[in-house]
Amino acid sequence: MRQLSYRLFVVRALSAHLMRSVLAIIGIVIGIAAVSTVVALVEGARAEVSRQIASLGSNLLLVEPGAQETRGVRRPAGSNLSLTSADAVAIAREVPEVLIAAPLVGKQETVAHGDANWSTLVAGVTSNFFEARGWTPAEGQLIRAGQVASAAKVAVIGKTLARELFPNGDGLGQFVRIERTSYAVIGVLAEKGQDVTGRDQDDVMFIPLSSAKYFTIGRTLANPDAVDTILVKTVSADSIGEAESRINRVLRQRHRIIAGKADDFRVQNLVQVAQTQDKTNHQITLLVSALAGISLLVGGIGVMNIMLIAVSERTNEIGIRLVVGACPADIRKQFLLEAILLCTIGGLLGLAGGYAATRIVSWALAWPVDFDITMALIALGCSTALGLAFGLLPAERAARLHPSVALKHQ
């Protein structure tokens, strides 16, 4: 009963000075809402990066042509036609750490079906490309080795392209056109979403590499066997470094690059690129969370100031309570409970505001969010601890007042 009477007394005291209590709460609301919103947004972004890393596949390297120089002018990376399908075969044969080396070519093309058409990435691949990426069909089947050997006019399409060309969802077995060439859709891939560069991995059409060269993308006269990229899958994550070194040595030897001369290709670790982005996001999270934490700290200081003002205004009340039998510990407990209650209410309202803010941002900007209930409870605990920390000074000052001095105060 004594504990209940304390709480009722604290609630009445705060209600009696409602405007002052609201001002104290507002600072905590802003601080908690800012912290919870920032954490939810950034954690959502990090979860999206993790999903993108998983969608890339595991233990992957990307071998791309280097930049070509024309009359001393360096053209964009990938402009040099230095990689071939034979290079992919050599990498798979001569590098023990490599499981798969899949060459591919790609070009943005307009794909049509009936009256519908859509500009998408058309990629010519071998059958082991899908195994390297770890991709499976949602419907139908993938491209087989025999279809690559015979330059079959078949295609496997992504979900985005399937939605645009076949809104009724009946794309399997239908024909799509690229200029005058028709391809039979034999498979639709499971949805992957965006990759780390922001490109939609489902907005794509895969056809056999040979078909791409003969009918659609074409071959360059300078190097008919040239490919745009070689996707390499290693036996394990630990072997990526050694595989990268061996690939460099194999390609330099095949391309007859002498010592001291720059490579005409480059090797990228796809997962490492994504992890670098994740690390950058983590650093941004710490920075923005620190800034949001400052606003929470300012809110705590505001509560302390409000409580100090309350002690000054209620000195007579404190004196009367001490005269009628209250001890300093009772006074200290009262003001501590008031500060804790203010911060707890502010924390609850701040969490509600933060949750609403994350949903609005997610809806308006299509930004991924991850509002974790555990983090919400931690934030609420922090706001309560903030009330305890910043309520100590006002509570201690109130407890140390002498009854005679308090009663004389006007």
* pLDDT tier, 230 (very low <50, low <70, confident <90, very high otherwise): very high
Q: Show Cβ contacts of residue 17 under 8 Å, excluding neighbours closer than 6 positions.
A: 310, 313
Query: Where residue 70 falls among pLDDT bands split at 50, 70, 90?
Result: very low
What is the percent of the chain with per-residue pLDDT over 90, rounded to a whole number?
Answer: 28
HEC secondary structure over 5-66: HHHHHHHHHHHHCHHHHHHHHHHHHHHHHHHHHHHHHHHHHHHHHHHHHHHHCCCEEEEEEC
H/E element holding 110? Answer: strand 98-113
Q: How far apart are CA 363 and CA 44, in angstroms?
A: 13
Q: Where is 200: in which H helix or E strand?
A: none
Instruction: Write the pLDDT tens digit of every residue in 289-332.
Output: 676 667 667 777 777 777 777 777 666 666 666 666 677 777 77
Q: What is the DSSP string of 136-179?
A: -EEEE-PPPHHHHHTT--EEEE-HHHHHHH-TTS--TT-EEEET
CA dist 381 and 379 (Å) reads 5
List, for residues 129-142, the tens digit of each pLDDT value.
998 888 889 999 99
> What is the C-alpha separation between 156 and 139, in angstroms, rounded?
10
Question: Residue 57: pLDDT band by 50, 70, 90 thresholds?
Answer: low
The predicted pLDDT at position 51 comes to 62
How many Å separate Cα 23 from the centre of its chain? 36
Q: Are 254 and 87 in contact (CB under 8 A)?
A: yes
Q: Are 304 and 390 in contact (CB under 8 A)?
A: yes
User: Could you write out the DSSP letters of every residue in 113-130?
Assistant: ETTEEEEEEEEEE-TTHH
**3 state SS of 325:** coil
CA atoms within 13 A on the CB side of 181: 19
Which of these, 303, 341, 357, 278, lies nearest to 9 by C-alpha position?
341
Q: Which of 266, 232, 270, 269 is nearest to 252 (CA)?
A: 266
Q: What is the pLDDT of residue 292?
A: 64
Give tens-digit pLDDT for 19-48.
777 777 787 788 778 777 777 777 776 666
- The DSSP bridge partners found for residue 140 are 187
Best CA proximity match to 107, nearest among 121, 117, 124, 125: 121
pLDDT digits (tens, 9 = 90+) for 178-226: 988 999 999 999 888 776 566 788 999 999 999 999 998 876 655 778 8
Least confident interval from 145-159, 185-199, 253-267: 185-199
Average pLDDT, the chain: 79
| Residue pLDDT, tens place only, 75-107 | 444 446 789 999 999 999 999 999 999 999 999
Torsion angle in degrees (nearest 10) through CA of 180, 185, 188, 189: -60
If phi > 0 it is left, if psi is from -120 to 50 it is alpha, else beta; for residue 294 that is alpha
pLDDT mean over 379-403: 73
Judged against a pLDDT cut of 60, whether residue 287 lies above it is answered with: yes
Task: List CB contacts of 339: < 8 A, sequence separation 6 or more.
Answer: 303, 304, 307, 387, 388, 390, 391, 394, 395
Residue 114 has pLDDT above 70, yes or no: yes
Residue 149 phi, psi dihedral angles, 5° rounding: -65, -35
At 363, is the pLDDT very low, low, confident or very high (cuts 50, 70, 90)?
confident
Query: Which has the higher per-residue pLDDT, 16 or 149?
Result: 149
Which position has the higher pLDDT, 5 or 338?
Answer: 338
Cβ atoms < 10 Å from Cβ of 74:
11
What pLDDT score was predicted for residue 110? Answer: 94
Say how far apart CA 77 and CA 294 lie, in whole Å: 44
pLDDT at 318: 66
pLDDT value for 328:
74
Give helix 2-16 / helix 18-56 axis angle, nearest 10°.
Answer: 100
Q: Decide: 231 and 62 in contact? Cβ < 8 Å.
A: yes
Q: How many other CB atoms are there within 10 angstroms of residue 379's CB atom? A: 22
Q: Which residues pair with 61 in a beta bridge?
A: 232, 269
